[in-house]
Amino acid sequence: MNGMNSLIPIFMMGFAAIQVPLKGQEPGGMFGFKAGSITTGVYSEIPAFLNTDWRSGLSAGAFVSIDPTSTLTLRADLLYARRGFGFRMYDEVTGLIPGEAEVRSIELQLDAGLRLPWPGRRATVRVFAGPAFGYELSCKVEGSLVGVRFEEDCDQPLLGLRTQTVDVGFSVGSGMDFHFLPVALVVDGRYTHGLRNLNKGSDDSRSLKSRAWAFTVGVGWPF
């Protein structure tokens, strides 16, 4: 009986440990830095664009998250991105023009989501959604015109476009936070669907909207 009595405190301590959330699952927050790949394209209703292709680029920046409860998380990412898309367009004078556009932008992503514990590991799973905003710093196109390479701004008359400076979209995604005191490894994947027509040219009734898949890895410091 004495042996059984001595085991009772051990069982109680083990039960209490199960009830205590792992580091990173309590209310709190985290700030850090992340970088990764971004694959982008556009959806075009402009008749001259016969086809558009996806292109891969890079993004990097900082993030901060606030966790009001053990399951709710709010996160903001501020990133510099270099993205682009391939295109093949037709001009009545010069014929087929193949090329590639490169857009450099500052992007703000605001997410609200849920955190779920990963069984048996010091990690949490996140699912999230929220608005995304992009501010265009530059937009360049490179291509081939009757066999001659060219490079110019996207808003030059050749493409018949005048692009919007600000893009607005909506993103959904998921990720995992691996908690290794005093830091956390943050892994994210997201899809962003552009909502704004980026074509403000003379044919602005024909839409040009962005699409993006992004994968980032970062390091965070919980607080």
How far apart are alpha carbons 36 and 170 in whole angstroms? Answer: 19
* Per-residue pLDDT at 55: 92
% of the chain beyond a pLDDT of 90: 52
pLDDT digits (tens, 9 = 90+) for 74-94: 999 999 999 989 888 877 777
**Least confidently predicted of 49-53, 58-62, 148-152, 160-164:** 160-164
pLDDT digits (tens, 9 = 90+) for 92-120: 777 778 888 899 999 999 999 999 988 77
More confident residue, 61 or 200: 61
Whether residue 12 has pLDDT greater than 70: no
* Per-residue pLDDT at 176: 95
Whether residue 11 has pLDDT greater than 50: no
Give the mean pLDDT of 202-206.
60
Residues contacting 88, CB < 8 A, separation 6+? 49, 50, 51, 52, 96, 97, 98, 99
Tokens of 151: 């490079």
Whether residue 36 has pLDDT greater than 90: yes
Whether residue 23 has pLDDT greater than 60: no
More confident residue, 121 or 172: 172
* Per-residue pLDDT at 160: 66
Whether residue 4 has pLDDT greater than 50: no
User: What residue has token string 């898949």?
Assistant: 213
pLDDT band at 166 (very low <50, low <70, confident <90, very high): very high
Give the mean pLDDT of 145-155.
81
Mean pLDDT of the chain: 84
* Per-residue pLDDT at 201: 65
More confident residue, 87 or 135: 135
Give the mean pLDDT of 186-199.
94
* Per-residue pLDDT at 185: 96
pLDDT band at 13 (very low <50, low <70, confident <90, very high): very low
* Per-residue pLDDT at 26: 66
